Structure 1
């Protein structure tokens, strides 16, 4: 950049580098999606087309950013996880967040005709906002993911019951909301089954558990005979984040490039499964290790 008398304005740019050795979660949310769902007559309580579109856009983000180790989405929200060893954009919060938001939004708008082929997308167009949050330990990260999945279940059970009362029970929105005030999960399940013959357990898993995105690596049989079974590998402990223990040495440039290529080639899996219990993490140790197997 050429020097000029105006270059001093660069001094107003403040650094926003995120703390090292911490998990980075960039969570995006749809802006004004209540109006958008009404404008395009989304099905209630869940529109499968809209959720599939969200998942497709998220998969597009995962493919473009191999540094991402995982994603989790519900409704008009998606969380993207960078490993604590991530150095993308020198860990600048603004760059990471805006890249995720803009990439996701572009994929969402581009793929809209695929999932809503007979619905013309018109201004105001869908848009998303985002924030970056740091979590120092594996426990904190898993608790965050558990929080989002529990929220998915709570919100979906409420919405399923609410819309059953409105669409099948003949109540208006205020009356349905009043009837559900103070009810527990058992009460909502009872309303669904006794009045509308709906067994909540039989609802689609995507609606109840949300969508989990991760890189599904194929491990060759030869690798399995010479290396430990990845499903039995230990999950990194919180001790790795202790201030008294130095983080592991970074990969060499050659090793890092090979790791990146393996990530780019990996299939982006989209599952609707439990991420609260240990089973999910034990079977996919590369998510928390941050290293492609």
Structure 2
């Protein structure tokens, strides 16, 4: 009887192909989170730093290759692995829960005087065939970051300066082209020139491993020697992934992944 019930578990045997894959996490109703915590709009560096801390915990425990963040979205690239037996159900649920709890912990630590509400992120998996496909994926997400940046600034401009309600502003910006978003920001203004928008607002943040040399003493041999170590590097000033500089950077980081 129990075996028959176990067989009813939906999608329990669905697995990711044995190849590198991205896990993309998206915040659920994070706009209410920013309201409750009184975070800066449209972007708050404190929230970005807390998201980075949550992602670093994933690096330390699960050892992915890199992660790309913007707004409330996180894309994490895993090399060929047997993570949770490659079961989609396990990967999605555990990484979403682990990231949510890590972000909640980081926010609670940074904002001890505020009541941080429960957080939730959804999770999906995107298999990759080769390095160029991964470069194209990250280029796509960065293009979304760029549009999200200007859409967010235009949204705030319409609310603060044009007097629209959040619902009216959202409707006004529906399907609006990027050039029009920039016009709205310039027209209504929010005490910030377009040229002053921080790079990470437009292009996102990248986290990856880097190797470095460290001098140490070998007590057995009685000599000083240089050892190679690795550490996490956070890139706040990314090049455009559409341009060759950005694509070359990504190809270098992906060299040992595929």
Alpha-carbon RMSD across the aligned residues, in angstroms, is: 2.9
**CA–CA distance in structure 2, aligned partners of residues 286 and 204 of structure 1:** 25
How far 1:136 sits from its partner (Å)? 1.7
Alignment match, 1:149: 142
Which has the larger displacement, 43-52 or 144-153? 43-52
Task: Write out aligned runs for 1:137-286 (5 A).
Answer: 137-177=130-170, 180=173, 183-196=176-189, 198-218=192-212, 266-272=230-236, 273-274=238-239, 275-283=241-249
Would you say the 8 A contact 2:66–2:209 is kept in 1? yes
Would you say the 8 A contact 1:216–1:266 is kept in 2? yes
Identify if the C-alpha distance between structure 1 residues 192 and 90 changes in structure 2 by more than 3 Å, giving closer, same or farther. same
Give 1:56's match in structure 2, choosing from 53, 56, 71. 53
Alignment match, 2:103: 108
Alignment match, 2:24: 27
TM-score by length of 2: 0.79
How far 1:51 sits from its partner (Å)? 1.8
**CA–CA distance in structure 1, aligned partners of residues 160 and 211 of structure 2:** 44
**CA–CA distance in structure 2, aligned partners of residues 276 and 103 of structure 1:** 32
Alignment match, 1:225: none
Q: Which runs of 5+ in 2 are unaligned?
A: 215-227
Would you say the 8 A contact 2:14–2:87 is kept in 1? yes
Give secondary structure in 2 for the equivalent of 1:72. Answer: strand
Give secondary structure in 2 for the equivalent of 1:266. Answer: strand
Would you say the 8 A contact 1:17–1:93 is kept in 2? yes
**CA–CA distance in structure 2, aligned partners of residues 62 and 72 of structure 1:** 12
How far 1:151 sits from its partner (Å)? 0.8
Alignment match, 1:82: 78
**CA–CA distance in structure 2, aligned partners of residues 171 and 9 of structure 1:** 53
Would you say the 8 A contact 1:71–1:214 is kept in 2? yes
How far 1:152 sits from its partner (Å)? 0.9
How far 1:9 sits from its partner (Å)? 6.1
1:57-99 deviation digits (Å, cap 9, x = unpaired): 1122112212x1011112221111112x223333222333233
How far 1:130 sits from its partner (Å)? 1.0
Q: Which runs of 5+ in 1 are unaligned?
A: 221-261
Give secondary structure in 2 for the equivalent of 1:118. Answer: coil
**CA–CA distance in structure 1, aligned partners of residues 211 and 247 of structure 2:** 14
**CA–CA distance in structure 1, aligned partners of residues 96 and 244 of structure 2:** 30
Q: Does 1:289 align with 2:255?
A: yes
Q: Which runs of 4+ in 1 moved over 6 A?
A: none
**CA–CA distance in structure 1, aligned partners of residues 174 and 249 of structure 2:** 40
Q: Does 1:69 align with 2:65?
A: yes
State the aligned residue count. 240
Identify if the C-alpha distance between structure 1 residues 89 and 171 changes in structure 2 by more than 3 Å, giving closer, same or farther. closer
**CA–CA distance in structure 2, aligned partners of residues 34 and 139 of structure 1:** 34
How far 1:215 sits from its partner (Å)? 0.8
Would you say the 8 A contact 2:149–2:202 is kept in 1? yes
